Amino acid sequence: MTMDKLILLLLISTAFVVAQAKVVLPSYITDNMVVQRNSVMKITGHASSGSKVNVIAGWDSRSCEVKADSEGKFDISLDTPDAGGPYSIIIADKDSKVKVGNVLSGELWLCSGQSNMEFPVEGWTSVMDADHVVSTARNPDIRLLQVKKRVAFSPQDDIETNMGGWVEAAPNTMDFSAIAYLYAKELRDSLKVPVGVIDATWGGTPAEAWTSYGFLKGVPGFEGELSAMESCGFDASRLRENYEKEMRAWMKFAQKGGEEIRPGDKLTGNVLPADYFERIGFGNGFDGIVWVQKEIDVPAEDAGKPMTLKLGAIDDEDVTYLNGVEVARGSGYNTPRVYTVPGNIVKEGKNILTVRISDFGGEGGFAGPAEAMVAEVGSVIIPLGGDWTYKVGVDFSSLPKKPASIEGSSYPTVLYNAMIHPLRNLPIKGVLWYQGCANVGRAEQYETLFKSLINNWRDTWDSEFPFYFVQLAGWLAPQSVQPDSEWAALRNAQSKALQLPNTAMVSAIDLGNPGDTHPRDKQTVAHRLALTALGRDYGFDTNYKAPQCISMQKMGNKIVLKFDDDLTVTSVAILGFIIGNADGDFDQAVARMADSRTLELYSPLVKKPVCVRYDWADFPNGNLYSLHGIPVAPFATDK
């Protein structure tokens, strides 16, 4: 080796050592952060190997010292002060120094779940009265931290963040959870202390993705995924290889059991509008392969010209054909499909457009607005919304469980590992949770799963902190009698988590939209959560509770219900009740208020009633409230 090369190598090595020696902190410790007041915060990081690391917090004149280990890792615990600030935290070793500025001490809440918690003030959608919320959002006492969406198959030590870390609430930072921000605003206005909220959310994700490997072991139904993770050493490439092998075998089995359909032949089936399968009669639990078809009339002068198909989003995957020729494939439940068809396939007159839709879980079918679905050829725009012919190819309910994809955000443990576990050293006051849509159809499993998730997170923080959750809003077509509602069953499973200490449930049952699973009124949800926290944790008299049914008595052909508080009704008729007999036959109940805490219910069609259910439907119409406007939550005396 020449002397020049040796010097260059030494310079590179020295630069590398210096770079490695810099003090590095986790991504959640940045300027503008909020620390939970009157708690103990553990600061972890990397510094020069074996060096002494000094930490000085602006609220304490004393310097704390700790020695980094041989890999440069260190951790030190700081007592946080009462509400106040701004402060600085300085962390230094012999080679470098990091200053974290504009730090406030106050209340810190972790907000997590799927799309209704992710739902931003203004971003991929917008909250009700978004212009007003955004224009009045400038509040330096409210701090926001948004965790970047990531997955991992083993617990991580750090997160990635959006917006560069912690930011002050301002009009330009409102692409952030609306519920989290509005909740923080109400707490700040009531408590007069700084409030920080962490947005760790991912739309469309099930609870098992937010739960750790160890705590999922006690939940039936995930044995296959947990075994695969363990046997593959939690390695992504080995898990992917294993999944692809299992999926090939499953798809071969699925297609073998389906009806032979040639995409160029005319389908015979039900004529239904372009929409989600669940909205047009397939049933809430349907998953499978469905063939849909529509005829397109092309003028003679446009035959032979390329055609653009705009089919909107299709949930989950599609293979699209024109006149029996495959023209495109797509995936992604919210990805708009725009396909170009070569002109040699486009003929004069009737053209047969066929789409093979595979729905692997949750909703399925055409997911975009029907009016945006068009075919463009030459100067002609042909509407594709409206009626299509539908034919089921394969109903997955008759098949073994489909292998869980490791590629997305739904695989067990991956969001806990990447987005929750890394936050464990940051003390929090409590958790707000809004999730459940992705687990509809698995209510029995969810009851155990959700409790495991809560226990898991409390174990991670070693704290029995408050855990407040939102019960799912109404959605899908209203039905007055729907005892088999999967959405109602999931809401009931959510409510079972109230058996755990220091939990509370906020109902959004009256805020839903039958045509949209994302109701825009997040203000009321945030307000009810804030009333709950202010009443339970901060000593305010907020009247956050709804009346609960405490007893049921059978009296001939009637059932009498007693509640623990006064009821009020928003119309003359009391709505939302169904009444059933021992054979499981239900009918809409006639209800009468005997006094402010007692209801009498009967139906002329149910002679010997044994149970009643309230707001037990996908989109129920119950109208019972507390005297302070809190809705009575759905319940069933037989559940």
| pLDDT per residue as tens digits for the range 178-237 | 999 999 999 999 999 999 999 999 998 999 999 999 999 989 999 989 999 999 999 999
| pLDDT computed for residue 337 by the predictor | 93
Residue ranges covered by each domain of the chain? 270-398, 549-636
**Segment 62-84 mean pLDDT:** 94
Q: Which helix (H) or strand (E) holds 402?
A: none
- pLDDT at res. 21: 59
Do the Cβ atoms of 195 and 141 come closer than 8 Å? yes
Cβ-in-10-Å burial (0-12, 13-18, 19+) of 71 comes to exposed
User: CB–CB of 443/239 below 8 Å?
Assistant: no
SS3 365: strand
Q: How far lies 516's CA from each of 64, 283, 410, 508, 520, in Å?
A: 53, 17, 22, 14, 9
Rounded to the nearest angstrom, the gap between the alpha carbon of residue 272 and the centroid of all alpha carbons in its chain is 30
pLDDT band at 262 (very low <50, low <70, confident <90, very high): confident
Region 499-511: mean pLDDT is: 98
Tens-place pLDDT, residues 465-491? 999 999 999 998 899 999 999 999 999
pLDDT at 6 (0 to 100): 39
State the average pLDDT over residues 103-128.
Answer: 96
Domain 270-398 has CATH 1.25.40.10: no
Residue 75's φ and ψ, nearest 5 degrees, are -150, 145
Q: Does the pLDDT of residue 437 top 60, yes or no?
A: yes
Residue that has been written with the tokens 């190598």 in this structure: 9
Distance, CA of 125 to CA of 119 (rounded, Å): 7
Strands 430-434 and 467-471: parallel
**Residue of higher predicted confidence among 369 and 284:** 369
Q: 450-462: per-residue pLDDT in tens?
A: 999 999 999 999 9
The first and second tokens of residue 279, run together, are 């909205």
- Check whether 19 has a pLDDT greater than 90: no
Mean pLDDT, range 15-30, rounded to an integer:
73
Residue 362 pLDDT: 75
- Measured in degrees and rounded to the nearest 5, phi and psi for residue 515 equal -105, 5
Cα–Cα dist 73/50, whole Å:
9
Distance CA 622, CA 616 (A): 9
pTM recorded for the entire structure: 0.83
Across 477-500, b (16+ Cβ under 10 Å) vs e yields: eeeebbbebbbbbbbbbbbbbeee
Task: Give yes or no for a cis peptide into 316 (omega within 30° of 0).
Answer: yes
- Whole-angstrom Cα distance, residue 201 to residue 265? 44
Q: For the chain, what percent of residues have pLDDT higher than 90?
A: 81
State residue 399's pLDDT score: 79
Is residue 114 within 8 A of residue 490, CB to CB? The reply is no
pLDDT in tens, 377-421: 999 999 999 999 999 988 888 778 778 788 789 999 999 999 999
pLDDT of residue 385: 93
Percent with pLDDT over 70 in the chain: 96
Question: What is the Cα–Cα distance from 71 to 20, expressed in whole angstroms?
Answer: 10
Looking at residue 344, the DSSP 8-state letter turns out to be G
pLDDT value, residue 166: 98
Q: What is the mean pLDDT of residues 32-39?
A: 98
Phi, psi of 54 (to 5 degrees): -105, 135
Round to whole Å and give the CA distance between 54 and 348: 79
pLDDT of 331 reads 84
pLDDT higher than threshold 70 for residue 10: no
Residue 579 has pLDDT above 80, yes or no: yes
CA angle 231, 331, 381 (to 5 degrees): 180
338-368 confidence digits (pLDDT tens): 999 999 999 999 999 999 998 987 789 998 8
Which pLDDT score is estimated for 257? 59
pLDDT for the residue numbered 1: 45
Q: Is 323 helix (H, G, I), strand (E, B) or coil?
A: coil
As a whole number of angstroms, the distance between CA 507 and CA 548 comes to 12
